[in-house]
Chains A and B, each alone.
Chain A
Amino acid sequence: MLSQIQTSYQRVQQSLQRLTDSIAAYNPSTIAADELVAADDTLSEDLRTLHHHQSNVHRITDLKRRAETNDEKIKTHFRAVAQLRKDLTSIPTIESNTSSREDISVDDLLAYARYISPTTVPPTFRPRRDAHSYMKGVEEGKGEDGQMRNGVTTPPPPPPATATATAQDHTNPETTATATATTVTPHIKESTISLQTLTDPEKQWLNPTATLDFTPWPSHILIGNGALGSIQKMVESGKDPASVLSAEEQAEVDKVRKEEEEKERKEEEERARRRAVMFDAAGSAGGGLGRGRREAEDDVFDPDA
């Protein structure tokens, strides 16, 4: 490109030089002028080509730049996708038997959560120092779980009593009753100076079980008050538990017995009536059958018989 322009430019120069020489020699040659014009045209032609060439070069660089940015974008996208995939596969999956997993409704879950709230803590549990407010929240929740069937026939820890309890830490009477049996006693004596210098939150963090308002299993008192306990009492008192009937069974049995008694009574009356009839029929003629029967009934000695 450059050489081409240079040659045409030189050509222009030469022709110009020739023309000026011829003019200087008082011999203007039109040929030289034409030559100059042609050379000039060629030069402009070349300049146009040069312009075109330059714009092409610009375009090429521009496109190159755009291609480069697009490549970068693609690379970043690929990296992001790879990272996401890695994150996705790194999420821990629970090995679950999907065949038995049906859709559980939100209501069921909430009802169950309410049901076990007195005896469990959620993962986001932040134990309160004020045991009163916590127990109150539990009571309100427990009052509405009437529709949940309570398979455990033992009564839940009595909520109303806790509301009026004194300002002790463990207001649940069931907990205090079993505190001697199942609550873990602190291994450090309170008299140690180091324990006294610890603040309350630190103590609670060190021994989280101490601020529990509940025991996570039924106490022996609860067990004793339940169905198993009542069966045990029956066995100890000598009654066969299998023969003990529930209220409705008892009512059924009573009804059946009453009906049978009714029937017997009716039959008795029937028989008495029949005997009376036969006795009359036998009358004073001394029907042995009737009298015999009467004698057998009354067992009265009749010398005239």
Chain B
Amino acid sequence: MAEANVNGTKSRDVNWFAVHQRFDIECEFVQSLSNPHYILHLAANKYFDDATFVAYLKYLEYFRQPEYIKYLLYPGPTLRALELLQQEQFRKDALNPALIEQVLQEGMEAAATGPR
């Protein structure tokens, strides 16, 4: 199941990587984006300068669909962060600690008051 036979040669199954399912890894990653400090960490390590990474963030939008959203344990902040990260200006400003702090505050308040 894990090893696919392509043209007689054994190629690596794209859905498995280092013991974990690809979906597990993507689900984890998209939810860890909801932590504003993680966004700061990514920005500091220049991940947002990579066009492939940005395209990957766009690809992660599939988690908005109902059949995938049900796997999110932190749906609100995750989708909010995803939405913010699609904007180029936000990605540029993510290095600003004040902005991160503001995002954090907004997230905490939204979590405390619940959906309105």
Interface residues of A (CB under 8 A from B): 100, 102, 104, 108, 112, 115-116, 118-125, 127, 148-154, 156, 181-182, 184, 208-209, 211-212, 214, 216-220, 223, 226-228, 230-231, 234, 241-242, 244-249, 252
Contacts and interface: CB of A to CB of B under 8 A. Distances in A.
B61 to A, nearest CB: 14
Contacts of B112: 121, 127, 208-209, 211-212
B18 interface: yes
A244 B20 CA distance: 10
B74 A217 contact: yes
Most buried by B among A118, A122, A227: A227
Nearest to A243: B18
B12 interface: yes
Interface of B: 1-3, 12, 16-20, 23-25, 27-29, 31-32, 34-38, 65-66, 70-78, 104-105, 107-116
B99 to A, nearest CB: 15
Contacts, number: 145
Contact of B109 (A120, A208, A244, A249): A208
A226 B77 CA distance: 19
Given A123-B116, A125-B114, A223-B38, A218 B18 contact: no
A179 to B, nearest CB: 12
24 contacts: A100-B66, A115-B73, A116-B75, A118-B73, A121-B111, A121-B113, A125-B113, A125-B114, A127-B112, A150-B73, A152-B71, A156-B73, A184-B104, A216-B34, A216-B74, A217-B31, A217-B32, A217-B35, A218-B34, A226-B32, A241-B17, A244-B19, A246-B19, A246-B20
Nearest to A209: B108
Given A104-B66, A220-B35, A249-B2, A123 B27 contact: no
Question: Of residues B1, B31, B72, B115, which shows the largest number of chain A Cβ atoms within 10 Å of its Cβ?
Answer: B31
A182 B37 contact: yes
Nearest to B22: A227
Contacts of B108: 184, 209, 212, 216
Nearest to A112: B70
A151 to B, nearest CB: 4
Contacts of A249: 2-3, 16
A218 B32 contact: yes
A76 B78 CA distance: 52
Q: Considering the complex of A and B, which 7 residue pairs feature the smallest CB-CB distances, nearest first?
A: A241-B18, A216-B111, A151-B71, A151-B27, A217-B34, A208-B112, A121-B114
Given A120-B114, A217-B35, A226-B28, A245 B75 contact: no
